[in-house]
Structure 1
Amino acid sequence: MFQMVPYAPKPTWNKDKLVGQKLPLKLEEIWSIRTRLDISNNLRELTMFNLALDCKLRACDFIKLKVSDVAHGTSVQARAMLIQQKTGKPVQFEITPKTKTTITSWIKSNGLKSDDYLFASRVKVHEHLSTR
C-alpha cells in the first residue's frame, strides 16, 4: 500500500541570520575605513564616506547634492541643507572640518563648477551618481 511520508517544512530564509537594523559603526571602524581610503588616495569614496557620516541620511539623498549646495566659490559652508526624498522634509546638517577638507580637495581635483553634481555619474553625462 501507499505509505505517507511526514511533511518536513522548509527552513526559513532568515534562520540563524541577522536581519533588521544593523549596529552602527564603531569609532575605531570609522577611523580604519578613513585611513584605508586616505592611504589608497581614493578621494571620491573618502568624500562620500565623510559626507555620509556628517549628514546621517540615505545615499539616495546625499548623492544628489550639487557643488552649490555645499560650497560658495572656493569655500565649503559649515552647514548644508537638502530635501529628503522619502519624507519630502528639508534637513540641515553640519559639515565637519575633516569633511570640508575632503570636499575642497574633491572639487579642486575634478575642476567642478557650482552647477555640477558633487558626485557625477560616470555613465550618463550631466547626471548624478546612481545608488545602483
Structure 2
Amino acid sequence: MPFPIRLQSTSQKACWNKGKLVGQKLPLKLEEIWSIRIRLELANNLRELTMFNLALDCKLRACDFIKLKVLDIAHGATIQSRAMLIQQKTGSSVQFELTPKTRESLQEWITQKSLRSGDYLFGSRVKKDFHLTTRQYARIVKKWISSIGLDVTLYGTHTMRRTKASLIYKKTKNLRAVQILLGHTKLESTVRYLGVEVDDALELSEATDI
C-alpha cells in the first residue's frame, strides 16, 4: 500500500522572527534587580519572588529552569546552599549556588504550597502535575521587565541566565569561573555569550585619552 503524500501548502509560512528584534538579550543591572525584587516583595508575590531569586542564582537555560523539582535543590526539608543539574542541551552537569535570600524564599514557597520532593517547584496553572512552560515563564519575565519601565524587546528569559554571570565577570574578569558557572564546554562560547571582547575593547578605548 503506497504511503500517503503530504501536499505542501502554496502559501509560504512566515519566518518565526519576522518583525521581531533578535539577538542576545541584555542582562539586568544591579539597581534593576533590586527594583524588580522590591516590587515583588511589596506585592507579596511569593511565587514570582522565589522564581526571580532562583533564576538569578541558578543561571540555567529556561528549558532547565522550568523543570526544577524540590529534590533538585533540597535534601529532605533542608534547602541546600549548592545544587547540581544535568543540562538538557549539552547533557553535561552544572553546579549553582543558592544564596541566603533565595533559600529563604524557596523554603517559604515550598512550605506554603506543601510541595513534596518529586514536585515541580513552579507548576503550571493550566495543567495539573505539569511544570511551568517556557512560554509562561517568558511572559512572567516580560512582566518583570515592563514593571520597571524597560524595553521588553531587549530582554527575555536569557536575561535571567546572563545577569549574574555578567556581574561576576565585570567584578572579577575571571572568564574561566563564568564558563564553569554557565556550564559551557568551550571558553570561546563564554566569550561570545558575554560579548566581553567588545565590552572590554570599548572600555579600554574610553579610558584612553588622546
TM-score, structure 2 as length reference? 0.53
Q: Post-superposition shift, 1:48? A: 0.9
Q: Deviation of residue 90 (structure 1)?
A: 1.0
Paired position in structure 2 for 1:108: 111
CA radius of gyration, larger in: 1
- Aligned letter for 1:104? Q
Q: Quick check: 1:84 aligned with 2:87? A: yes
Which structure exhibits the higher relative contact order, with contacts defined as CA atoms closer than 8 Å and separated by 6 or more residues? 2
1:19 CA displacement? 4.4
Return the structure number with greater helix share. 2
What does residue 31 of structure 2 align with? Answer: 28
CA distance in 1, matches of 2:76, 2:120: 15
Deviating beyond 3 angstroms after TM superposition, the runs of 4 or more aligned structure 1 residues are: none
Give the alignment partner of residue 53 of structure 1, picking from 53, 56, 62: 56
List alignment gaps of at least 5 residues for structure 1: 1-12
Identity of aligned residues (%): 73
**Which residue in 1 is equivalent to 2:6?**
none
CA distance in 2, matches of 1:59, 1:19: 17
C-alpha offsets along residues 70-125 of structure 1, whole Å, 9 cap, x if unaligned? 11222100111112121111111011000000000100110101111111111222
Report the Cα distance in structure 1 between the residues aligned to 2:62 and 2:108, rounded to whole angstroms.
21
Give the CA RMSD over aligned residues.
1.6
The match for 1:41 among 41, 44, 65 is 44
Q: Unaligned regions of 5+ residues in structure 2, if any?
A: 1-17, 136-210
C-alpha separation in 2, matches of 1:91 and 1:129:
21
* Displacement after TM superposition at 1:128 (Å): 0.9
Q: Offset at 1:130?
A: 0.8
Following the alignment from structure 2 to structure 1, what is the Cα–Cα distance between the partners of residues 110 and 24?
34
| Equivalences, count | 118
Q: What amino acid is aligned across from residue 83 of structure 2 in structure 1?
A: A
State the 1:29 CA deviation.
Answer: 0.2
Q: Which residue of 2 aligns with 1:5?
A: none
**Secondary structure of the residue that 2:84 maps to in structure 1?**
strand
Quote the offset at 1:127 in angstroms. Answer: 1.4
Look up the equivalent residue of 1:117 and give its one-letter code. Answer: Y
Q: TM-score, normalised by structure 1?
A: 0.82
The amino acid of 1:44's aligned partner reads R
Structure 1 position 125 matched with structure 2 position 143: no
